Amino acid sequence: MNEKEAWAGDFSAVAQIMKQLSDEVRVRIFWILCHEELGVLELAGLMKMSPPAVSHHLKVLRQADLISARRDGRQVYYSSKDRPVAHFLQSMIENLLSLSGTES
């Protein structure tokens, strides 16, 4: 396998992450979870969405390996993963918000 072929897989992985964050709702949920651990009901309230709709977006973010879930009794709490890619994406989102003049 040559160097160009080896990089092809890397670009595919990057495209998959960007695809998962191509939705405004998922970007916002991910950003919130970078700052605090929350359950579905709390997130639904913040997002002004139904719990099933929030759960759908959480599932996509979990499949992208950007967030993790922790069960405490009957409640499940979500937070961003402590991974370099998650930290980078959080920083990127905050920088883009700053550059666009949007307050976080």
List pLDDT tens digits, range 68-103: 999 999 999 999 998 888 888 888 888 888 888 765
Domain count, the chain: 1
The pTM is what? 0.80
Tokens of 57: 């977006």
Identify the pLDDT of residue 54.
Answer: 98
At 22, which CATH number? Answer: 1.10.10.10
Which DSSP letter does residue 35 get? H
**What is the four-CA torsion angle of 76, 55, 89, 101, rounded to 10 degrees?**
-120
pLDDT tens sequence across 1-25? 566 666 566 788 888 888 888 899 9
- Residue 90's domain comprises 3-100
Beta pairing, strands 38-39 & 75-80: antiparallel
**Tokens 């402590």 correspond to what residue?**
82
pLDDT tens sequence across 9-65? 678 888 888 888 889 999 999 999 999 999 999 999 999 999 999 999 999 999 988
